[in-house]
Chain A
Amino acid sequence: MVSSGCDRSQALLSEPTITAKLAASRSVPAHSVATDELTVRGLTGVDMTLTVAGPGTRSYAFVVDWHIRVLGVLAWVLLGAMLRQMFPVSAGGKLTSNPIMLALMVGAGLTYFLYHPVLELAMRGRTPGKRIAGVRIVTVEGEMPGAGALLTRNLFRLIDSLPSFYLLGLVCCFVTRQSVRIGDMAGGTLLVLEAEDSASSLGRLSALLERSSLPPETLKLVQDLLARWKALQKPQRLILARTLLARIEPQRDAAALAALDEASLRALLENHVAR
């Protein structure tokens, strides 16, 4: 078994193969599906590429937000029911004549209808659903949208939601190049996949590069393999570890490498990252 793994590792020496294998072994969440890219010229003249979120990601974010909205409204209704028990409406009196009930009804309505505009303004182009889905709203220039753009895109929900269940908006997302609905077209916005830990990943990578003598690509591969060590099946991680070590240490004998057990392989890889 060990020798066959080593033979295979010789065949998998090329880096793109390793990368592809690592990528294949990763469970790809639905929200990473992207349909297009947005290239934006930065203020310095150096351009950058943002990954546009597709209809699937948008729908996922919307469904999460919708559930939060419904839960919010239900909380209001429950509160209303409790208060109604405590302060019963007089016989023949209308529900709307009770100021507490009135406030609760208005609160529930506001929770449902102002959820998106208020949270997008407060969270600078995000909502809890978008955050979970890993997307954020940006302008077509790749910047944070202003209040006007956010309000406009929310205003057009009136049209996007026609005839029901956001059908028009969804169709628009499927047929437009950047997967935008009518509100986004009017507001000049679009949803991009968020590089949430971009700054920290640069920080981690640069810290590793400072310590390690490995080239960045190899270092990243080793780091990825170690991070997903337990998630990978044992034969698979052994093959990948031997393949990487064969590349990192070409002087090491293939047979000796094949004889190493799992703990030793991991220790060697960790040593390379820390060195």
Chain B
Amino acid sequence: MDSLQSYLVIAAILFSMGIYGVITRKNAVAILMGIELILNSANINFIAFNRFGGLNTLDGHVFAIFVIVLAAAEAAVALAIIINLFKNIDSVDVSDADILKG
């Protein structure tokens, strides 16, 4: 528990899971969940490097706060877009949203 590598491995697993979810899911809300996993893994890395990097300041924590704020903004806007998509094409399947396709 007191080694940098264990946290980095957990973050790597979370990141790969998020990437897999973003690529394979067809439901827009499920893609959003994958993005949340990716942002969480980045946060774990920030905090772990701040703890084990021998820094005397807490810059990693401040970065993590900014990431959390951006995740909140992103979730709000993404859900507004998804609800509009549902109103317009009656589906949240991203492969149905192909109106702009030539």
A binds B: no
